[in-house]
Chain A
Amino acid sequence: MLNAKGIVKNFGGLTAINRCSIEVEKGSIVGLIGPNGAGKTTLFNVITGMYKPDAGRIIFKGDDITGLSPDQICQKGITRTFQVSRELKVMTLLENILLAYKNQRGESMLRGIFNPVSVREQERRNLEKALEILNAMRLYELRNESAAILSGGQRKMLEIGQALATEPKMLLLDEPTAGATAAETAMVVGVIKKMREAQGLTFLIVEHKMEVIMGICDKIIVMSYGEKLMEGSALEVRRNEQVREAYLGREA
């Protein structure tokens, strides 16, 4: 589904990603791990259009999406979340979700002014869907509260809900359980599994919590110093010497 080939990204004199190639099969859940500074988030940024790679191509479902802007890439079907949640605090949770739906007729200025039936109908349908998502994220009670009041884990849940509302084909999650309680972590894992079963969503997940990664990922890619160190199943990765070295001083 996603094929990033030979990605190189430099910042000033620093090479953040050095000829990294990864492949994610449709319907799979792939983990991306590595020590801090390995380039995982940078890779996300390149794939989703925040940066243009200095070399390499990104192919998604057969289309070359290299160099497209973030909104274009989202429209193509890839949505990402952020390492530090970036929910919109001025809006309520419900609005945060409603914002994310694609092809909203009401987003045209003229239709926004006249508010015809078609717009109201679509808003109503999106509202139903949004409430379901909030329910699944256990955030229903807070739906009309400002997003500013959420706890760390709840913010992650909202962000994932928002990402789901974009109805993507593939989700890139950047540390979805950071700051989450054990219960919330379990919920996130449940949601990911369910989305893969029910809708065939593909996932690429950056995670530091090993139980999560080992638990749900079909395949794990390990990055270090901007390069792909290895990839394989959970077992293979755990046994690998180089991986242990890369994580020297950290829990493996």
Chain B
Amino acid sequence: MISFIIGIVTVVAIYCILVLALNIRWGYCGLLDFGVAGFFLIGAYTAAILISAPSESYLFGVRHTAGYGLSWFIGLIASAVASGSLAFLIGIPTLRLRGDYLAIVTIGMAEILRYIVINEKWMTRGVQGIRDIKRPFESFFPAASLPSDIILLALTLAILALFFIIASRLFVSPFGRVLRAIREDEVVTSFLGKPVPRFKMLTFVLGGIYMGVAGALFAMYVTAIEPYQFIPTYTFLMWGCLIIGGSGNNRGAILGGALIMGLFIQATRFLPSIPGQPQLIPALRYIAVGILLIVVLRLRPRGLLPEKTIKIEEGGGVDAKR
């Protein structure tokens, strides 16, 4: 039972990191990222390839690139670098154009990455996916055990907390101020002397790093990843969490993530399956999220926890009030 709860909290926390990252891109800077699943995927697969144990089954011809058996820490760093680099590459042509273009490019990027993963079997084992991804300290605490779950949960929560603190400090900093200005009116911000593309790129890459790390954590959590876990549906769910929870607001992001993903994963436990139509109930969950998103957009566009305005006191203390 405890193991089950720990598992749920861990995976929800991982998705919360994704929502947080999305908030940094959209909520702070107004960047429309519809390719969250793609950055998540790159992080997960990079970590999986580096961390999982070397295995003969990976040997095709001379090359075997899957399974290096490296440590979880290296996996995390590599995922961060991979995802951040992807963000950089995607950003070069798109960040200087209107926001819609970034949206379209990221959608396509995420799907193409998924296709590459499915087709380049020599690297990723295609639809079978990569298995036996090692948890941290696997040699002391085997994967199926409670201590292993606890360690991963602790690691995930620690990273979530760290990322949250970084994001919050950025929000109230002069850097964050420029981002918020860009979000509202890019042109004016530019005329005030701020190099807008540079700020956008930094934001986009930071979001990428967060998402890559989340992907690595995810790979370690499930210990077996496959392409279907990265379909565009998950990108959309992250947006649902963010909009419903309150975009522009880190606490809202986490609230939305916890609420939607928590309820989401739980919902199928309590709703019975309709015989003959096994896919009906799960799909209904997604439909519900979609409808909820549109309803929130219409009635309360700021989400459940609206964005804070920053009031500054004379002593130099900054107070973020609602």
Q: Chain B interface: which of A74-82, A187-195, A216-224? A: A74-82
Proximity bits, A103-126, B CB within 8 Å = 1, else 0: 011111101111100011001100
Q: Does B53 contact A (CB under 8 A)?
A: no
Tell me whether A75 and B193 are in contact (CB under 8 A).
yes
Interchain CA distance A91-B188 in the complex, whole Å: 13
Decide if B316 is an interface residue (CB 8 Å cutoff): yes
Question: Is A88 touching B184 in the complex (CB atoms < 8 A)?
Answer: yes
Query: Could you tell me if A113 and B170 are in contact, using CB atoms closer than 8 angstroms?
Result: yes
Q: Is B190 an interface residue (CB 8 A)?
A: yes
Hey, what's the 0/1 contact readout for A204-221 against B, CB within 8 Å counting as 1?
Answer: 000000000000000000
The CB with the most chain B CB atoms within 10 A, among A80, A114, A127, is that of A127
Q: Given A74-B191, A102-B193, A113-B166: A88 and B173 within 8 A (CB)?
A: no
B192 and A166 form a contact (CB under 8 A)? yes
- Considering the chains assembled together, what is the distance between the CA atoms of A92 and B311 in angstroms? 7
Residue A231, interface by CB 8 Å: no
Whether A162 sits at the interface, judged by CB under 8 Å, is yes
Query: Would A90 and B180 be within 8 Å (CB), given that A106-B174, A109-B170, A124-B316 are in contact?
Result: yes
Whole-angstrom distance between the alpha carbons of A114 and B172 in the complex? 12
Closest B residue to A103 by beta carbon equals B193
**A95-B312, A144-B311 known; A71+B195 contact, CB < 8 A:** yes
Q: Complex formed: what's the CA distance from A111 to B166 in Å? A: 11
Tell me the smallest distance from the CB of B250 to a CB of chain A, in Å: 14
Interface residue? B16 (CB, 8 A): no
- CB atoms of A91 and B180 under 8 A apart: yes
A-B contact count (CB 8 A): 108
The A-contacting residues of B in range 300-322, CB under 8 angstroms, are: 307, 309-312, 314, 316
Given contacts A88-B185, A92-B309, A99-B181, contact A113 B194 (CB under 8 A): no
Contact A113 B311 (CB under 8 A): no
Residues of B close to A94: CB separation below 8 A = 312
Q: What is the minimal beta-carbon distance from B28 to any residue of chain A, in angstroms?
A: 11
- List B contacts of A105 (CB < 8 A): 174
Taking a contact as CB atoms under 8 Å apart, the answer to whether B175 and A162 are in contact is no
**Complexed CA–CA distance, A127 and B312 (Å):** 9
Q: What residues on B are CB-neighbors of A113 within 8 Å?
A: 166, 169-170, 173
Query: Is the beta-carbon distance between B310 and A91 smaller than 8 angstroms?
Result: yes
Q: Does A48 contact B (CB under 8 A)?
A: yes
A146 at the interface (CB under 8 A from B): yes
Instruction: Say whether A89 faces chain B, with CB atoms less than 8 Å apart.
Output: yes
A86 in the interface, Cβ–Cβ < 8 Å? yes
- Given A95, A124, A162, which contacts B192 in the complex, CB threshold below 8 Å? A162
State whether A88 touches B312 (Cβ < 8 A).
no
The docked-state distance in angstroms from the alpha carbon of A108 to that of B195 is: 12
Q: Please, which residue of chain A has its CB at the minimum distance from the CB of B193? A: A74
Is A69 an interface position by the 8 A CB rule?
Answer: yes
Query: Which residue from A74, A79, A86, A119 sits with its C-beta under 8 Å from B185?
Result: A86
**Is B196 at the interface (CB under 8 A from chain A)?**
yes
Q: Which of B175, B184, B206 has the most CB of A within 10 A?
A: B175
What per-residue 1/0 map shows which CB atoms of A42-74 lie under 8 Å from chain B?
000000101000000000000000000111001
CA distance A95 to B174 in the complex (A): 9
A71/B196 in contact, CB under 8 A:
yes
A1 contacts partner chain B, Cβ-Cβ < 8 Å:
no
Q: How far is the CB of A149 from chain B (nearest CB, A)?
A: 11
Contact partner of A100 (CB less than 8 A), chosen from B180, B192, B310, is: B192
- Chain A residues contacting B196 (CB-CB under 8 Å) are 71
Q: In the docked arrangement, what's the CA distance between A112 and B169, Å?
A: 7
Q: Tell whether, in the assembled complex, residue A106 and residue B191 are in contact, meaning their CB atoms are under 8 Å apart.
A: no
Q: Is the beta-carbon distance between B191 and A80 smaller than 8 angstroms?
A: yes
Say whether B259 faces chain A, with CB atoms less than 8 Å apart. no
**Which B residues are CB-close (under 8 A) to A82?**
188
Is the pair B190, A92 in contact by a Cβ cutoff of 8 Å? no
Q: Is the CB of B158 closer than 8 A to any CB of chain A?
A: no
Any chain A CB within 8 A of the CB of B281? no
Q: Is B285 interfacial (CB 8 A cutoff)?
A: no
Q: Is A24 an interface residue (CB 8 A)?
A: no
Which residues of A line the B interface, CB within 8 A? 48, 50, 69-71, 74-75, 79-80, 82, 86, 88-92, 94-95, 98-100, 102, 104-109, 111-115, 119-120, 123-124, 127, 131, 144, 146, 162, 166
**Can you list 5 A-B contacts with CB-CB less than 8 angstroms, sorted by A residue number?**
A74-B191, A91-B184, A106-B175, A112-B173, A124-B316
The 6 closest A-B CB pairs, nearest first, are: A106-B174, A112-B175, A112-B173, A74-B193, A144-B311, A124-B316
Report which B residues bind A (CB closer than 8 A): 166, 169-170, 173-178, 180-181, 183-185, 187-196, 202, 206, 307, 309-312, 314, 316
Known A92-B312, A106-B174, A111-B175; further 8 A-B contacts with Cβ < 8 A: A50-B191, A71-B196, A102-B193, A107-B174, A109-B170, A109-B175, A119-B174, A120-B316
